[in-house]
């Protein structure tokens, strides 16, 4: 976990444009945005993949979604719509081995995503 980029952001060892932070999660702008509004919501607890979520994490995962709703409203995209994406493992597009949720909006998003 010492080489996890998200753990370094959480610990304040790396700079990031933080939009939200509480005792359980942090949200910051994506460094390679794929939409006009694109940020990541990351639990402070290091959980490598979606497959590693345990029953005791259910409240944390629900909290992440509540934070997503709050930030979508704050960013002015709640009414028009937005997308939340979480990738799992290499073939699923996961690059950082720490679960995170992309929140994208500010334009019409296409389906399938690619």
Residues involved in catalysis: 100
Determine the Cα–Cα distance for residues 58 and 55; give it in Å rounded to an integer. Answer: 6
Determine the Cα–Cα distance for residues 58 and 34; give it in Å rounded to an integer. Answer: 28
Q: Classify each residue of 84-111 as buried b or exposed e, where b means 16 or more C-beta atoms within 10 Å of its C-beta.
A: eebbeeeeeebeebbbbbbbbbeeeeee
- The per-type count for the chain, helices as H runs and strands as E runs, is 2, 5
């Amino acid at each position: 976990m010492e080489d996890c980029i998200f753990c370094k952001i959480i610990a304040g060892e790396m700079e990031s444009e933080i939009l939200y932070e509480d005792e359980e999660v942090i949200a910051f702008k994506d460094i390679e945005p794929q939409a006009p509004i694109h940020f990541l919501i990351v639990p402070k607890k290091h959980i490598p993949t979606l497959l590693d979520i345990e029953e005791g994490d259910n409240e944390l995962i629900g909290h992440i979604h509540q934070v997503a709703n709050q930030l979508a409203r704050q960013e002015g995209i709640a009414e028009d719509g937005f997308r939340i994406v979480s990738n799992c493992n290499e073939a699923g597009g996961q690059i950082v081995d720490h679960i995170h949720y992309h929140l994208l909006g500010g334009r019409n998003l296409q389906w399938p995503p690619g």
